[in-house]
Structure formats: C-alpha cells, structure tokens
C-alpha cells in the first residue's frame, strides 16, 4: 500500500511593514539675546549662591557640634560608657566636617564662575539693556530682602524656642536630682547655649580651670534664658539649691566644685526687675511689689538680699 501523502501547509503571504518615517529633526535652540543670557546667568548665580550658603551653614553647624562634644570630653563629668559614645561622635563629626568643607570649596568655585559669567555678559549690554536689567534685578532684590528678613525672624524664633526647651529640660532634671543630693551620680551640667569668645575665658576653659568646663558667661546665659520665661526667678533663691555643702555627701567630690561655680555665678546676678506694663503686676513704677523692698539694696550693690 503506497504511503499516504501529507499536504504541506501553504505559506502565509508576507505582510510588508510600513516604512519607518525618518525622525523629526529637533528645532534649533533659540538664540538668546545678550539680555536674556544675562538673566539666565543671573539665575545660575542665585542658585550657586544658595548652594554655597547651605554648604557654609553645614560647616558652621559641624564645627559647633564638634566643639560641643569635645567640651563634654574635656569636662570628664559623664560615665565612661557615655564618654566612649561621645568619642565616637567626635570621630564622626571630624569626618563630616571634612566633607562639608570640601562641598563648601566646590560651591565657592561654582559661585565664582557664575559671578565672572554675569560680569562679562553685563559689560556687553547696551545702556538701555543695562537700565532694564538693573530695574528688574532691583525689584527682585527688594523682594528677596523682604523674604530674607522673614526667614531670619523665623530662624531666630526657632533658636529661642530650642534654647528654652534645653533649659527647661535641664531644670526639670535638677529638680529630680536635688530631691536627694547624696544619691546624685551624674552632675546636672547646664546646657552649652552660649560659646563665650573672650580670650581669657577660652584660655581658662582650654586649660580646664573650670570644673564644669564652662565660664561664668556661659552659666549666666543659661539662667538668663530661664529667667526670661520665669518672671519670678530670683537668683538668691536659686542660689540656695546650689550651695556646695549640699553636695558634700556625693561620692564624686568634683560635684562640690561644680556646684560652687554655679553658686558663685548666681551670687553675681541681680534679681530681674519687671518692666513697665508687666503682665504679672499692675505697678507702673517699673518693678513688681515683690522687689520694691529690694530696690535700695540693689542700688547699693548688696547682692546678699533676703526675702522681705
């Protein structure tokens, strides 16, 4: 029996794909006038200046953080485990400071290049174009100045609030610690809000002449911030909490020296007189009745004022 034939499938007709149209050529870039190029370069300069300012603020912040951690180590008032962690932070701060300084140098180079570009383009403008450019940039500078003032006020308010929070937290810690002076293990060191730049103070701090690692200027700033939000603050009353004899029962004998430094600073401070129109009193003479009996003693320079 002959083999059965197998019919082959018919080939499908080839479908011709439409030819791909050639790509549409891009339109030529617009030719900018000298004035338009100057505006464009000015925007570049503004951006470069902003980047430089951010980099500069990062360097300053890194320097402050590094100095603060180094001061904590110099005080040597923390536990050994805490000091080890702070030393690690110092190493990390040093590395971050180097990176921030490198970014700042690059940003300064970019800003200088933008300044040169704007200067060259501005010199090529005609008299009428210069007038138009100066008028437009003048309006922009006025608006920028106004915005900068608002931003500065916001930053100032945030800084004040940050200082207040630090002082309030520290003062609450002292109230808890001072319930039993003999059980204090870690001295409640005031926060470093103010870095005194006086040569004598800086040399004394560097030479570890202060047990707290802070000069009297730094300590006074802490109590000044506290008294700003607590109108009834009396340095003579506060001084009683820091009497060195109260710390004589502490295991760490350095605490007595630390307390003595604060005790001495509070003795140099005067009670705060309330201003005219104080919300806490109706006295129009400029100070509360609470301090009326103390005014004459204050004028005579007697700081050891007893409560009346």
Looking at residue 254, its pLDDT comes to 86
What is the overall mean pLDDT for the chain?
A: 80
pLDDT digits (tens, 9 = 90+) for 24-40: 888 887 888 888 899 99
The pLDDT score that the predictor gives to residue 79 is: 53
- Segment (H or E) for 83: helix 80-123
Centre a 10 Å sphere on the Cβ of residue 247 and count the other Cβ atoms it contains. 23
**Placement of tokens 């933008």 in the chain:** 114
Distance CA 37, CA 45 (A): 12
pLDDT at 73 over 80: no
Most distant pair of Cα atoms in the chain: their distance? 141
Q: Residue with structure tokens 């000015």?
A: 42
Task: Give 42 or 143, the one with higher predicted confidence.
Answer: 42
- DSSP annotation of 15 reads P
Scored b (16 or more CB within 10 A) or e, 139-176 reads eeeeeeeeeeeeeeeeeeeeeeeebeebbeebbeebee
Q: How large a percentage of the chain has pLDDT more than 90?
A: 26
The stretch 164-178 carries a mean pLDDT of: 91
Domain assignments of the chain as residue spans, ordered by start: 34-125, 175-299
**Residue with more model confidence, 290 or 264:** 264
Of 170 and 295, more confident: 170
Higher-pLDDT residue of 194 and 180 is 180
Q: What pLDDT band is residue 272 in, cutting at 50, 70 and 90? A: low
* Alpha carbon distance 282, 4 (integer Å): 123
Q: Would you state the pLDDT for residue 306?
A: 40
How many residues would you count in the chain? Answer: 308
């Amino acid at each position: 029996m002959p083999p059965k034939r197998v019919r082959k499938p018919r080939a499908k007709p080839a479908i011709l794909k439409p030819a791909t149209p050639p790509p549409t050529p891009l339109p030529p870039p617009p030719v900018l006038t000298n004035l338009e190029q100057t505006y464009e370069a000015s925007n570049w300069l503004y951006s470069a200046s902003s980047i430089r300012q951010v980099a500069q603020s990062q360097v300053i912040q890194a320097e402050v953080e590094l100095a603060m951690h180094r001061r904590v180590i110099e005080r040597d008032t923390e536990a050994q485990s805490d000091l080890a962690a702070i030393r690690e932070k110092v190493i990390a701060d040093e590395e971050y400071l180097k990176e921030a300084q490198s970014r700042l140098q690059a940003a300064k180079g970019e800003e200088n290049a933008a300044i040169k570009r704007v200067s060259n383009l501005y010199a090529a403008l005609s008299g009428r174009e210069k007038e138009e450019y100066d008028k437009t940039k003048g309006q922009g500078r006025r608006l920028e100045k106004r915005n900068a003032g608002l931003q500065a006020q916001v930053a100032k308010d945030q800084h004040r609030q940050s200082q207040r929070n630090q002082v309030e937290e520290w003062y609450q810690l002292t109230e808890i610690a001072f319930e039993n002076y003999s059980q204090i293990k870690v001295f409640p060191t005031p926060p470093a809000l103010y870095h005194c730049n006086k040569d004598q103070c800086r040399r004394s701090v560097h030479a570890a002449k202060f047990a707290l690692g802070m000069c009297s200027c730094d300590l006074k700033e802490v109590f000044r911030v506290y008294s700003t939000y607590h109108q009834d603050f009396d340095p003579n009353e506060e001084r009683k909490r820091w009497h060195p004899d109260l710390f004589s029962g502490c295991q760490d004998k350095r605490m007595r020296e630390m307390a003595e430094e604060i005790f001495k600073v509070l003795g140099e401070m005067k009670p705060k007189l309330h201003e005219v129109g104080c919300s806490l009193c109706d006295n129009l003479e400029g100070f509360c009745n609470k301090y009326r009996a103390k005014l004459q003693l204050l004028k005579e320079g007697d700081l050891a004022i007893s409560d009346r």
